[in-house]
Amino acid sequence: LIVNFFFHLLNEDLFSIFPFLAPHSDSADHIAAYGINVYHSYGPSGYYTHEFDGDEEFYVDLEKRETVWHLPVFSQFRSFDPQGALRNMASGKQTLEIMIQRSNSTAATNKVPEVTVFSKSPMMLGQPNTLICHVDNIFPPVINITWLRNGHSVIEGVSETSFLSKDDHSFSKISYLTFLPSDDDVYDCKVEHWGLDKPLLKHWEPEIPAPMSELTETVVCALGLTVGLVGIVVGTVLIIRGLRSGGPSRHQGPL
């Protein structure tokens, strides 16, 4: 039995313990989550990240012990020592072991992830594009996301975010695939998670407008010709009326 407990510390947890620290307004223009720590017994492993308005600023690669910025330009005016994340992971590991003992090794409840696949921009054959696989409602934060092209695994052009936290303490994750759209290729985003009975395949294929039939083209041309002729007739009538109304009056006044 794999125990799926994890230690998760968020700023909002402090507000629930110390309500006087919470903002007085019911809403905020921006929300920053600093030092989101997750440690679970699967592996064992975990992750550490900073977020702003739900977007990842950076995460710490625990194996390489280095900070990985979502946008490299951020590192030019900010820095973060990964040793702080490693210390937090050590603390999370100790807390997790205590919680496992107190709960009699009860496993966490697995949620069923929700998967959506779409293209980054409107699809045009032969034009580079990016497929996005958004996986929501993830818990616990252990998941495999892979891409398939025509049923075969794809490795090149694949990237993904770390786990993004949500208000309900579940997580989301996004996987990207850069590709060249072709009417011969179909794609699947394959998701494997403990909340699924079997791997979930979310299908995607390019939507190519069906070509018009000869009858449809004939009808469209006929309608266009008819509209053009009607416009010519109406225009001619209006011109004639305008010339008549603008001519000299037939009734002459007194001398």
Task: Read off φ and ψ for residue 48, nearest 5 degrees.
Answer: -135, 130
Return the pLDDT at 45: 65
Per residue in 209-255, pLDDT (tens digit) is 555 556 766 777 777 778 777 778 777 877 777 777 765 544 544 54
Per residue in 231-241, pLDDT (tens digit) is 787 778 777 77
Q: Is residue 134 scored above 50 in pLDDT?
A: yes
As assigned by CATH, the class of the 6-102 domain is alpha beta
What is the length of the chain? 255
- 220: CB partners within 8 A, 6+ apart: 212
Q: How far is CA 170 from the centre of its chain?
A: 16
Every domain of the chain and the residues it spans: 6-102, 114-204
Per residue in 19-78, pLDDT (tens digit) is 434 444 456 677 767 666 677 766 656 777 877 777 778 878 877 888 888 777 777 888
Return the pLDDT at 34: 65
Residue 69 near residue 58, CB atoms below 8 Å: yes
Identify residue 144 by its one-letter amino acid code. N
Domain 114-204 CATH (choose: 3.30.360.10, 2.60.40.10, 3.10.580.10, 3.30.70.2190): 2.60.40.10
Return the pLDDT at 132: 97
Return the pLDDT at 4: 41
Q: How confident is the model at residue 8 (pLDDT cuts 50, 70, 90)?
A: very low
Q: Which of 55, 62, 56, 58 lies closest to 40, judged by CA?
A: 62
Return the pLDDT at 208: 64
Say if residue 141 is exposed, middle or buried (CB neighbours under 10 Å; 0-12, 13-18, 19+).
buried
The rounded mean pLDDT for the chain is 77
- Evaluate whether 6-102 and 114-204 have a shared fold: no
Higher pLDDT, 35 or 91: 91
Return the pLDDT at 225: 79
